[in-house]
Structure 1
């Protein structure tokens, strides 16, 4: 990385790419102070900043690899940058003696026509150019479009309406079509602003540790470098390839329903029962009992049932989160040991989850983290026979608690999902189950990649809406996949059903079609199972779902090839079209279709009432429509029939798996 001085500033260049352009009349760096108001309500945040100072640091003095910034000549430096790095990797570290600085803005050079992707898991917009993205882990919101009625109602009813940028998994990292990546090493609140043609402004509510820059000649090489930086997941467990993980929360009746689902021809790899811990009845409805151990009343003889399922090649999965209910058996044990986060008075901080209170285990306390990993997940779950679980609520750290490490909870809030993932991974590793036990998370932040083996897309609405429904899963998979998260999946049929919004037959069937072309198929009954159609309640839906699981299993040889690629190279299973078609700039903005590995193109139907679909096929390959065998040249829109059971899927005619793909027509 080179600093090239000019008469009134400098240029910072990495491998021929202009990164920072500073001039005294157009500074690249601003510092100052802000006073933020943050209100949290059950994982939703209302955040507002009052900027007290924003001072442009117009004067820069370059001395070797250091750049000292001040507001004007003759003034003392307020911030110093240290530049280092090799030809394709650069690092900018920050140093200041000014304790008053708690806001920093840096402008990275942009180009007209440039595209940017990443930001963690972004659900509404894959290409982030033209918009501002706050990066703060939270609930994604019920409705993510402020112009819609459902978002308005969610805001009024529970302060839970979202916006396009709300996400469970933010990460201050982006990739540019200029073939470089930028990562900000900080856990503080930050924002990426891509609304200007000539620069990208990065806002950080702290002086960051450093900014990392990575340049590679191709997108594939750049994505591999991201996986190398943030961590690669182990291969998926062998048992996953047996079919879908069926989500049921119906107590002992779940086993009877599972048998009917299997009898319909469904390929099944697992039974996932959130309610394995029992239920708590509230005015809101039935809630899980947050005391993480098997509930014998709701699931009699569960251990024996788990063993019987495993003998048939079917695994049992459960649910856990970092909170412990005050009326559960684990709460007094944790409190006596001092494992909870504290309030301002030095007592256990209690969080109201709606008619029941909980304590949050303080994972900044090494003993508390070790206890949760061994006592809760290790003994009560893995040793009991669970092969996987949903590790939920990583985004819920309250911002007003006192933590053992002494760091402000506002600064630790973004880091919390990674700590939570590490606790789960430690439990799995302690039992020698890495690569066999499978937990999945929706919350994330920098570093989650090295701990969490599988992401799930969170709580989509049970509909086809542009910002909240089925199509958002694709953007989430693509954005997170560029940053080292190889495996992604979603709740088939969606989750959130509120204000009269319920599942349709069509929605479940279209979602199942997409699920067949993802690394893991998993169903969910949703937040209101009794109000919403389930896969086993309609013969047509069940037959369709069974066939989709057969398609998933048919593709296992190809999926195993992709999993090997992911675990050794870091390439995601679901990939943006441009990853293998760099010269086709039209592919840079497509977010409703994806490559399933290098050879399959999947364009899920995400509009209701549609039996024909049009998608773009990139230049550089001849494409074969899976169901008709019709061939298409790349570089054009292809319109194909899309009846139920025949989602728009194409394969490269030259693929070594062409025979396997053609075999889908016979299922």
Structure 2
């Protein structure tokens, strides 16, 4: 398929796969352009970005040829469009015009998805979404007191569009996808039903187009473009990853989980390298090595890891791409030239991470990528038996640093998570452990799919709130999955506890139910573990977690089937309803339930106090309720959903039907 231009109505139409992509008319221009002046403020990974556009042009005249278009203003060429294969490029002839807005043709009732990993909205219609990796914010809802307090403290309240993982790619219900091949600041604007806008802060923009007969083939094409993840190893899908950060006592606590009947695949101790206490809560000591602090907190860790391995339990850890100034590795990194620098001298650029400063490891330098992969992830982690870790952060690259490759930080900022993912993948591959060792990330951008084997949904608040609570992890998995990220999961129990917002037993119970139906089930103690309930705080909660870990483990054969499917087709494991039922327009914005593969439908309870929930069962064909065995016809149903029995349905004709029917046994 190739892009085609045809003159029409005093302007032109841009076609791809017989679908109109752009429609330019003198009274409705497809392009606007201006000059801009950006002001960027960052605090703790939260960004405030303003612009002052001026000298705006909306050229209406154009000259059309076979493979190009020239836009004119007052008779003079000001911009050019060129097509090649499945791509087209737009260039401002005066490079000072560094703001381009391209208006893509939209049809009535057309639904739009994409934008990377979105937390609040699966369908983008009616809203605008800046593409800038950052902290997503705490609360993410300007009407709430928590968001207001966080905005006052550190610009940290966030909004519906803030995300760790943006991606300037959108797909529509015409089964057309558009990708902006750039890392600069950009915006996907779906507020006007007549067009889908893409604003890019550059004097040139290159777009890639994809088309298919339906969503499955379109998602498959996008996954092929951005890269497919290796199948998750058996150990990662066959039990729960128990997250504890109590130093050596974590091993003792793990035994309580095992005694309660928990199916355990790994022990995850993010505090393996040491901790520091801050006003935010217990933070890690950012010096990623088996050094003095690690030995103090986890004496004999290497031997402990080996003992766990003998019991078929992996040990997982934590790392991020920053080094604390008071850590031992900082001096080594500085001597090796591994830090991004300040603009005015050769000193490392330091970032305040909340009561401690860190150097930014400069991954634009090949030697630095190799050093971090070998020296830290390889020798300090993989070589002592660590088989997975949270590869945290990646969103904090400031816009006023000096980088080794001379690139503009405004262009490099969104690329940073991809470079970070590449470094982690390099380390795993260097030990021949690709497809066995698993790291997971929250930050991302276009191309992270080729390196990162597993996403996690970031730092949700420990509550049921609409924009920052338990339900956002479903939207995150569904939106990211459309763009080639097959595997997603969340912090079971949530993470962020501030201003008196603490976990309830109900939240922990509901999150365990949800996490059992994700590729990886992993608990987290949160940022303030001593103030919050944990799964081993009471016998009832421990029993709850153990029961759902067994359900998760019982699903492993089905999940293995889905992993194999993801490797060959790129389809995500957690799927929006419309993916398999594209003809039903009522399913296009459904984001509180999902298909787990094609044969299982999961409708987690994500509202506090609810013991019923509405479930949409698509047709044709009946769906069988997992816990009661009762068959339901297609349609909308009010389904009983007491704690311990979230609405889950399966296709009786599935090859895994007997397996699904046995899930209640795992709860016994």
* Contact 2:280–2:527 (CA under 8 A) maintained in structure 1: no
The ranges of structure 1 where at least 4 consecutive aligned residues each deviate by more than 4 angstroms after the TM superposition are none
CA distance in 1, matches of 2:479, 2:237: 25
Q: Say if 1:523 and 1:112 are closer, same or farther in 2 by CA, change over 3 A.
A: same
Is 1:339 aligned to 2:341, yes or no? Answer: no
Q: Which moved more, 1:486-495 or 1:7-16?
A: 7-16
* Contact 1:185–1:208 (CA under 8 A) maintained in structure 2: no
- Name the counterpart of 2:385: 385
- Name the counterpart of 1:193: 189
- Name the counterpart of 2:445: 445
Deviation at 1:130, TM superposition (A): 0.7
Give 1:138-177 correspondences, 5 Å limit: 138-177=134-173
Give 1:615-630 correspondences, 5 Å limit: 615-630=615-630
* Contact 1:123–1:467 (CA under 8 A) maintained in structure 2: yes
- Name the counterpart of 1:400: 400
Deviation at 1:158, TM superposition (A): 2.2
Is 1:289 aligned to 2:275, yes or no? Answer: no
- Name the counterpart of 2:31: 29
The two structures have a TM-score, normalised by structure 2, of 0.97
Deviation at 1:356, TM superposition (A): 2.0
Is 1:260 aligned to 2:260, yes or no? Answer: no
- Name the counterpart of 1:590: 590
SS in 2 for 1:291: coil
CA distance in 2, matches of 1:329, 1:233: 34
SS in 2 for 1:428: helix
Deviation at 1:209, TM superposition (A): 4.5
Q: Say if 1:150 and 1:285 are closer, same or farther in 2 by CA, change over 3 A.
A: closer
CA distance in 2, matches of 1:608, 1:436: 38
Deviation at 1:125, TM superposition (A): 0.4
Query: Unmatched 5+ residue regions in structure 2?
Result: none
Deviation at 1:7, TM superposition (A): 4.4
* Contact 2:283–2:527 (CA under 8 A) maintained in structure 1: no
Q: Say if 1:292 and 1:564 are closer, same or farther in 2 by CA, change over 3 A.
A: same
CA distance in 2, matches of 1:162, 1:281: 25
- Name the counterpart of 1:115: 111
SS in 1 for 2:523: coil
- Name the counterpart of 2:532: 532
- Name the counterpart of 2:639: 640
Give 1:34-73 correspondences, 5 Å limit: 34-72=36-74
* Contact 1:184–1:208 (CA under 8 A) maintained in structure 2: no
CA distance in 1, matches of 2:535, 2:116: 31
Deviation at 1:285, TM superposition (A): 4.2
Deviation at 1:36, TM superposition (A): 1.1
CA distance in 2, matches of 1:205, 1:114: 26
Q: Summarize deviations over 1:597-642 as a string: whole Å, max 9, x none.
A: 00000000011111222211112231111111111111x1122221
SS in 1 for 2:343: coil
Deviation at 1:83, TM superposition (A): 1.1
CA distance in 2, matches of 1:401, 1:443: 20
Q: Which moved more, 1:284-293 or 1:381-390?
A: 284-293
Query: Unmatched 5+ residue regions in structure 1?
Result: none
Deviation at 1:198, TM superposition (A): 1.0
Deviation at 1:391, TM superposition (A): 0.5
Q: Summarize deviations over 1:228-254 as a string: whole Å, max 9, x none.
A: 000000010121133000110000000
- Name the counterpart of 2:297: 298
Deviation at 1:544, TM superposition (A): 1.2
- Name the counterpart of 1:606: 606
- Name the counterpart of 2:368: 368
* Contact 1:402–1:409 (CA under 8 A) maintained in structure 2: yes
- Name the counterpart of 2:665: 666
Q: Say if 1:168 and 1:525 are closer, same or farther in 2 by CA, change over 3 A.
A: same
* Contact 1:186–1:208 (CA under 8 A) maintained in structure 2: no
* Contact 1:584–1:619 (CA under 8 A) maintained in structure 2: no
* Contact 1:102–1:207 (CA under 8 A) maintained in structure 2: yes
CA distance in 2, matches of 1:468, 1:281: 25
Give 1:236-635 correspondences, 5 Å limit: 236-294=232-290, 295-346=294-345, 347-634=347-634
CA distance in 2, matches of 1:438, 1:490: 15
- Name the counterpart of 1:18: 20
SS in 1 for 2:13: strand
SS in 2 for 1:296: helix
CA distance in 2, matches of 1:604, 1:495: 19
Deviation at 1:31, TM superposition (A): 1.3
Deviation at 1:297, TM superposition (A): 0.4
* Contact 2:641–2:647 (CA under 8 A) maintained in structure 1: yes
CA distance in 2, matches of 1:31, 1:229: 29
Q: Say if 1:240 and 1:64 are closer, same or farther in 2 by CA, change over 3 A.
A: same
Deviation at 1:96, TM superposition (A): 4.1
CA distance in 2, matches of 1:350, 1:531: 31
SS in 1 for 2:627: coil
Q: Say if 1:314 and 1:174 are closer, same or farther in 2 by CA, change over 3 A.
A: same
CA distance in 2, matches of 1:649, 1:199: 38
SS in 1 for 2:380: helix
CA distance in 1, matches of 2:464, 2:594: 18
SS in 2 for 1:277: coil
* Contact 1:516–1:551 (CA under 8 A) maintained in structure 2: yes
Q: Say if 1:283 and 1:126 are closer, same or farther in 2 by CA, change over 3 A.
A: closer
SS in 2 for 1:78: strand
- Name the counterpart of 1:202: 198
CA distance in 2, matches of 1:308, 1:608: 41
SS in 2 for 1:233: coil
- Name the counterpart of 2:648: 649
* Contact 2:222–2:483 (CA under 8 A) maintained in structure 1: yes
* Contact 2:80–2:93 (CA under 8 A) maintained in structure 1: no
* Contact 2:614–2:639 (CA under 8 A) maintained in structure 1: yes
Deviation at 1:94, TM superposition (A): 3.0
CA distance in 1, matches of 2:585, 2:66: 39
Deviation at 1:666, TM superposition (A): 2.6
* Contact 1:581–1:620 (CA under 8 A) maintained in structure 2: no
* Contact 2:394–2:417 (CA under 8 A) maintained in structure 1: yes
* Contact 2:282–2:527 (CA under 8 A) maintained in structure 1: no
CA distance in 2, matches of 1:510, 1:358: 37
Which residue among 124, 129, 134 is the counterpart of 2:130?
Answer: 134
Provide the alpha-carbon RMSD of the alignment: 1.1
* Contact 1:562–1:573 (CA under 8 A) maintained in structure 2: yes
CA distance in 1, matches of 2:636, 2:281: 47
Q: Summarize deviations over 1:85-110 as a string: whole Å, max 9, x none.
A: 2xxxx211234441211100000011
